[in-house]
Amino acid sequence: MAGGNAAVTYLKPGEVEVRTTDYPTLELLDGPGVDPANAGRTCRHGVILKVLATNICGSDQHMVRGRTTAPEGLILGHEITGEVVERGPDVEFIDVGDVVSVPFNIACGRCRNCKEGQTSICLNVNPSRAGGAYGYVDMGGWVGGQARYVMVPYADFNLLRFPDRDAAREKLLDLTMLTDILPTGYHGAVTAGVGVGSTVYVAGAGPVGLAAAAASQLLGSAVVIVADFNTERLAQARSFGCETVDLAQGPAEEQVAQILGVPEVDSAIDAVGFEAKSHGRDSDDAPATVLNSLMGLVRAGGALGIPGLYVTEDPRGIDSDAQSGTLRVRLGLGWAKSHTFSTGQTPVMKYHRALAMAILHDRIHIAKAVNATILPLEDAPFGYEEFDKGVSRKYVLNPNGALDGAEAA
């Protein structure tokens, strides 16, 4: 069915376009960003989804800003919720008509890491390194899902099926956050040791930081402090009960002490990553700033969860070290304070079923927390442009009308 699809396509730094593309098949065809060893891979275990919701992510924005080696023509999008319209002959437990959430990690379910629950570093889906994802540079070349239709491999293992289709559609704007942002924020909180009574500092009030804050509340934290330079995003954090630190107004330790009475916290979450800047609204890139500041803020014996993205190649890095992902981290400080550090992509399947239950039973209202804002697929370039300006919104694309009339509850 050539020409039966449309997808958000990366053209060059600062520019994306919605292009007519081929309807997907159960085969990974050669194309922009596809690892040559993956080209032609047959996916009898896969399904074709009609995309019901697909989100613009900060990780996508890194590519669109030209901060990775993403090639021209790469189809973007790794946050996908959809309805099965076709299934491969080897799919046993997923049926046509099922409404499903797609973890952004692509995992085979067969390798050692998958069997140990480390689905973010599957050994069989990316010939170049451990771990695969949709629509992302160096992650195997699996075609992205900011589209009307997309192919998902290893469907029986990867997909989270919602048993009640009607309930899932009613909560679709919240459930679309299960593909990445909510499990990623939750993983940051869990690995930072957040629990009942914890004091938590979240660096970054973008969508992942807001999700980490909401997840910390779900886990029972006593106080969640969200830090940023962006006053609009800080106001969004306050809208659901967070304390805030405006980094343009002085040192974080002083502001934390005003809130807690002491200049330290039990747990900290880095929701910024490698595009961090030194303190000040118009300051230069300083990719180790967040990590170093968090080591200063976290109490001795505390932990840092690091869901923020760090890369091995940044063509626009501030110096040769930054361009290769080499950062000047004060590891000696972290060592002296016996800190625990947890890094890497989130193993979404570890959390998404439980988080789906929390959404369906109104224990968390994640769409409202991140200010989910619906756009038609053709307005994706506008969404990328606005997101790059720092608006406090999580843009959710609506390729097939499933979100018509939906609002964050």
Longest dimension (CA), the chain: 63
pLDDT of residue 278: 65
Same domain assignment for residues 134 and 185: no
Asked if residue 118 belongs to a domain, the reply is: yes
Last residue of a domain, one of 300, 316, 342: 342
Span 147-196, pLDDT tens digits: 999 999 999 999 999 999 999 999 999 999 999 999 999 999 999 999 99
Instruction: Answer yes or no: do 131 and 216 share one domain.
Output: no
Q: Are residues 59 and 101 in the same domain?
A: yes
pTM (predicted TM-score): 0.95
Return the pLDDT at 29.
96
Do 192 and 221 lie in one domain? The reply is yes
- Residue 81 is part of a domain; what is its CATH number? 3.90.180.10
The answer to whether 19 and 6 are in contact (CB under 8 A) is: yes
Cα distance from N-terminal residue to C-terminal residue, the chain: 38
For the chain, the average pLDDT equals: 94
Q: Does any domain span residue 90?
A: yes
Residue 238: pLDDT over 70: yes
313 and 249 belong to one structural domain: yes
**Same domain, yes or no, for 120 and 194?**
no
pLDDT value for 190? 98
Answer yes or no: is 21 within a domain: yes
Give the model's pLDDT for residue 94.
Answer: 98
- The parent domain of residue 313 ranges over 181-342
CATH number for the domain harbouring residue 280:
3.40.50.720
Nearest-CA neighbor of 22 among 41, 48, 47, 43? 48
Are residues 404 and 375 in contact, defined by beta-carbon separation less than 8 angstroms? no
Number of domains in the chain: 2
Q: What is the mean pLDDT of residues 27-55?
A: 97
Residue 221 lies in a domain: yes
Six token digits for residue 245: 């630190």
Confidence of residue 280 (pLDDT cuts 50, 70, 90): low
More confident of the two residues 279 and 185: 185
Instruction: Determine how many CB atoms are found less than 10 A away from the CB of residue 324.
Output: 13
> Is the model's pLDDT at 232 over the cut of 60?
yes
- Asked if residue 329 and residue 205 are part of one domain, the reply reads yes
Average pLDDT over residues 102-114: 98
Domain membership flag for residue 389 = yes
Instruction: Tell whether 203 and 318 lie within a shared domain.
Output: yes
Query: Contact, 8 vs 2, CB < 8 A?
Result: no
Give a yes or no: residue 407 inside a domain. no
What length does the chain have? 409
Task: With a cut of 70, say whether residue 202 has pLDDT above it.
Answer: yes
Position 313 in a domain: yes
Tokens 């075609």, located at residue = 143
